Structure 1
Amino acid sequence: MSTSSTRKTALFKTLEELCEDFLREDLTEENFSKEISSVKLLLQNREKNFGKYLDSQKEILKEQLYEFRLIFSEAVKEYKEALNIIEQFFVDKEKKHIEEGLLKAASADKKVIYIQKTIDRKKSEEQEENLITTRKPVDTAIRIAQNIYIQSHIQSPYTIFTPKKPASSVAVTDDSKKKIVEDFVDVPIFDRLSLKDLEEIAPMVVCKKFSENSILFKENDSSKDVFIIRSGRVSIRKTIEMGADKKEEEELIIVGKGTVLGEMACIDEQRRSATAVAILGDVEAYIISPGNFMTLLEKFPSISIIMNKIFCHRVRETNERLIKYLQAQVLKIE
């Protein structure tokens, strides 16, 4: 029953070993119950300490800190649910609860491991970047500029507008249409639209589920669909030239619910600038065809106005981040 994950946290290893020992009858039910209670206390301690650890890594995670806090909170919630499922065994003596709980815990553990791996990778990249800068500052600046450009064209600027329409006032009879309207109330680019406008938009979108590790769109693809993330998380990745015949795919950022992806390719009719991959579980996304999206921009000028403000914000952010980086490199060289 052992899970196949190559890397596990100490917490999960402890829980996994306890469950396996009990199922092999190497542990009495009474002792198993006591050990599960101990794991609960251990989880509380890890929740507190790991939260502090994340805060200590804010210079590494930067704008991703908030997203990783959310991921960790979800992982803790899943861990607690897993332990509750396992404890159902003590009620009805069904061993299936232990297996189900362990699978739930494995899902939670995967999120924590993802955070740890990302922090380790970012630290390694930062060290490597510092070494490269002393030898090839121009090449490094170009590489960083590419990353800054892609990141600033995908992430936080959408959050500069806060939706104000209450979802509770949605009154649509068709259930699927109602769900779309309720979801779109919280999408920043639709902030200035009325509920009636959102009802009109609803038939223009299709909801699709992507399994973990599925690709929503790939860098250099000619596809032009626009995606609005309904649930789950998406990793945005960019292929970076590392030298002659050497390329590496780097994860630039993780985005979640409410994020709009792919609008750049739709508007400027160029190829995709990055790859989008479903991670940490399944992803649900609303898809708008390029024709329908352009119709929305023409019919609802407020969408265009908000997107123009977002693009302006992105350009300013890109310039500021690039200038700060180049200034830092000049100081290092001097």
Structure 2
Amino acid sequence: MIVSPSRRQLLTLLAALAPAALTPGGRGWAQPASVVTGSDFAAAWAVYRRRFVRLEGRVVDSGNGGVSHTEGQGWGMLFAEAAGDRESFDSLWNWTQTNLRRPEDGLFSWRWLPDANPPVADRNNASDGDLLIAWALLRAGRRWQNSAYQQAALELSAAIQDTSLLRDGKKAVRALLPARQGFQRDGGTIVNLSYFVFPAFRELAAAEKQAGRAERAALWQATILAGLSLLRRARFGTYQLPPDWLFLGDDGELFPAPDFPPRFGYEAVRIPLYLAWAGLLGGELATPYRTLWAQSIPGWVNLHSDAQSDYQEHNGFRAVAALVLPADHLPLLAPADGVPTAEDNYYSASLLLLAALARREQGGP
């Protein structure tokens, strides 16, 4: 489905994002066990930084051979900003620029391999990593009144729009591409709905509008609408869940991407996280996750057969579930303070901190 925002749609979207709709315990929201305070988050960040951030500013994916990628750099920058840790933020940003920036388009290569020569063998970008970096820069610019951060955020925002939005012949936004290259197929495109970082889109749209770039602000608003439209349609299996990877046909048809396992799992768990963070997880959008997680929190669900993993997932998944489920389920889930345990690898710990921020902000920065 091609989405071009009308005035009515944009007004509806803005109304959905109004603070009155985002109160804890409001429709579509689980009442959190507690609100994460600044000191709670600083403690969680201190543990995360000690375990996963090298002194030079490189975030290490402990569950994936010690690689680094733009996802981790962007999350690390978000965490450092939220904790008020300017020194770590600068270290993370400097390492990212030095090692991953692509001078030809202003994006960032997605992965850095510690034991490879060169460390960046695949120079393709990852649009979610680019978005996370831009979002972190925008927030850091606000917190520390730093115009260089703000300018870098707007430049990266424009670069993402110019290279990584799937648009139709009339320039209407259809989806966010996972990367500039590599995801076009005969008859359609592979997309990853967990790359739709809804709170980042919202804040970047506001920043673009404030900078006098109304057309770019409208593009991010259109991307929000496109993502929500896809999520309302991309529902598969008994639980009506979205897949980790989705095929979007040129004719609008949707089905789990054939190049990947037909699962809701490691990737798609971030979808309800980002929806909740933006204050958009309510009603029909929340139902699939609530239905599944009220019973168990498996590592994955096969969307063709309904088979589930034979293991229950880690604290990171549980922290995301705590954003979705009613309050009486929360004691069974991850602690609300977001502090990673020794059992949490990079990804689980990242989800813990992300969920803590989403819970603290409850739909707005």
Name the TM-score, length of structure 1 as normaliser. Answer: 0.24
Between Structure 1 and Structure 2, whose CA radius of gyration is higher? 1
Structure number having the greater helix percentage: 1
Name the TM-score, length of structure 2 as normaliser. Answer: 0.23
Structure number having the greater strand percentage: 1
